[in-house]
Structure 1
Amino acid sequence: MGVSTSRPGPSGPHGGVAVVTVDFPPVNALPVQGWYDLADAVRAAGRDPGVRCVVLTAPPGSRGFNAGVDIKEMQRESAAGGGHTALIGANGGCAEAFAAVYECEVPVVAAVAGFCLGGGIGLVGNADAIVASDDATFGLPELDRGALGAATHLARLVPQHLMRALYYTSRTATARELHHHGSVWKVVPRGELHDAALELAREIARKDGHLIRLAKAAINGIDPVDVRRSYRFEQGFTFEANLSGTADRVRNEFGKEKST
């Protein structure tokens, strides 16, 4: 359980591709430390001179790519009469993990199977390319869970008005719908996802290592949105929701619905 990295050796099987695997069963909802570990792993892979592309994925057979923040961690702290340590940690950890993907020195390919929710959208929205299984779904159930955020990243996946409708309703979009909008590179059967993601990553990794890093920096430099600042702005409203007590009320109602 946790975050692990497979790096290419001199004659390794991945040919310049590092694979970062995130595994927090049962649903890949990450605790605070998990987000920081993910950020560290992606940044370390990008710094490795032998790496020219990173694949970000979950283990084969996982129920989903990422279910976002482990809200039970915050609920436990709230029930114990604690403060906002878990919330502050989760917000900081998510910001670092999303930024690590965006700022990784080499391109990042997200390999998505099953659900990609909440913080998962932050990761794939900041990735350079997405390969998805045909059962993959993408969405932000934040309003159902007493949170806000990652509209910055959902807006990188779908057009503006669709982003708003998905955000307000907490509905999800399928991999094929995102492929239609051009944000998913390829949709494949789940059993072919790993190979399809590696195929794209290896194609990228065949480029000159120095030039691909310059290309990543150049493309980030012409991005019309500062994704780190935009996301941190959103997080301010998450704090407001928590300080007002709204977040706890909504989270508790969500928990009751799940248990009935």
Structure 2
Amino acid sequence: MGISSSHTENGIIEVTIDYPPVNAIPSLGWFELARTITTAGEDPEARVVILRAENRGFCAGVDLKEMQRTEGYSALIAANRGCAKAFAAVYDCEVPVIAAVNGFCLGGGVGLVGNADIIVASDDATFGLPEVDRGALGAATHLARLVPQHLMRTLYYTARNVSAQTLHHHGSVIEVTTRARLDDAAREIAKEIAKKDPTVIRAAKEAINGIDPQRVHQSYRFEQGFTFELNLTGVSDHARQAFLDGNHARQANDS
């Protein structure tokens, strides 16, 4: 459980998120994810990194329960800094990162996927930012890399989700497949890249980042400033607790 990595054939490294049941990542987990991805990219034998997940969905974002049970703002600061480092690690990884998205991809999950180089998704995958319902802001930077501007704004204000099929239509998801075949689909693309000259691929990654019109690191940290502001007003604490209370009630009704 947690963050793990494994080497497969031809320099392909798989990094796995595993925080059951929904992959709500605690603050230390975000830092560990950042270190694991960075280390994978620095491996001279690495050709491609696949970012994947176990459990019911790819990522449910930050661990709100951790934030609510911690007095003061230390958990909030740790989560925000951890997310920023993990998102940056995906973007700055020295080799291409392929995100294999199963089930739901929410909040911080969108931050990870939006900074990946290539995305494959299962046919039941959904993507969304519930931030405004949780009293937070962030990852609009990354959602804007997945969908057109006005759709991004609609999804952001309404906290609606969008399907993998819609992202495939817009070209940000390269392939939609069954959940059973998701890992194989990601590995097939990884193997195709791994056959290329690794020096050229690493140079290509650096060059593409260098011409990117969006300064993802700065824009995301700008968004986070408003999250801190909302927390100082107290509205965020009430929003998080309302979500957790409502989710607990739903689970009780289902049992």
TM interval, short-chain normalised: over 0.9
- Give the SS at the match of 1:131: strand
Instruction: Determine the C-alpha separation between the residues in 1 that align with 2:189 and 2:221.
Output: 31
1:93 aligns with 2:86: no
Runs of 4+ in 1 over 6 A off after TM superposition: none
Q: Counterpart of 2:209?
A: 220
1:73 aligns with 2:66: yes
- Give the SS at the match of 1:15: helix
- What amino acid maps onto 1:74 in structure 2? M
- Give the SS at the match of 1:66: coil
Q: Counterpart of 2:252?
A: none
Instruction: Determine the C-alpha separation between the residues in 1 that align with 2:19 and 2:240.
Output: 21
Out of 199, 219, 243, the residue aligned to residue 254 of structure 1 is 243
| Contact 1:135–1:174 (CA under 8 A) maintained in structure 2 | yes
- Give the SS at the match of 2:201: helix
Q: Counterpart of 2:51?
A: 56
Alpha-carbon deviation of 1:98? 0.1
Q: Counterpart of 1:36?
A: 31
Q: Counterpart of 1:23?
A: 18
- Give the SS at the match of 1:253: helix
- Give the SS at the match of 2:83: helix
- Give the SS at the match of 1:63: coil
Alpha-carbon deviation of 1:139? 0.3
- Give the SS at the match of 1:92: helix
1:181 aligns with 2:170: yes
| Contact 2:65–2:244 (CA under 8 A) maintained in structure 1 | no
| Contact 1:7–1:45 (CA under 8 A) maintained in structure 2 | no
What is the 5 A alignment of 1:32-181? 32-59=27-54, 62-77=55-70, 82-181=71-170
Instruction: Determine the C-alpha separation between the residues in 2 that align with 1:259 and 1:4.
Output: 29
Out of 213, 218, 224, the residue aligned to residue 235 of structure 1 is 224
Question: CA RMSD of the aligned region, Å?
Answer: 0.8
Tell me the alpha carbon deviations over residues 33-90 of structure 1, each in whole angstroms, 9 at most, x when there is no partner.
100000000000000111110000012xx1000010001001001xxxx210000000
TM-score scaled by length of structure 1: 0.94
Instruction: Determine the C-alpha separation between the residues in 2 that align with 1:51 and 1:120.
Output: 24
- Give the SS at the match of 1:148: coil
Instruction: Determine the C-alpha separation between the residues in 1 that align with 2:123 and 2:86.
Output: 26
| Contact 1:111–1:132 (CA under 8 A) maintained in structure 2 | yes
TM-score scaled by length of structure 2: 0.96
Tell me the alpha carbon deviations over residues 123-145 of structure 1, each in whole angstroms, 9 at most, x when there is no partner.
00000000000000000011111
Identity %: 66
Alpha-carbon deviation of 1:147? 1.2
Alpha-carbon deviation of 1:257? 2.2
Alpha-carbon deviation of 1:259? 2.8
- Give the SS at the match of 1:87: helix
| Contact 1:28–1:67 (CA under 8 A) maintained in structure 2 | yes
Alpha-carbon deviation of 1:16? 1.6
Out of 245, 249, 253, the residue aligned to residue 234 of structure 2 is 245
Instruction: Determine the C-alpha separation between the residues in 1 that align with 2:15 and 2:57.
Output: 15
Q: Counterpart of 1:2?
A: 2
- Give the SS at the match of 2:72: coil
Instruction: Determine the C-alpha separation between the residues in 1 that align with 2:95 and 2:107.
Output: 24
Alpha-carbon deviation of 1:252? 1.8
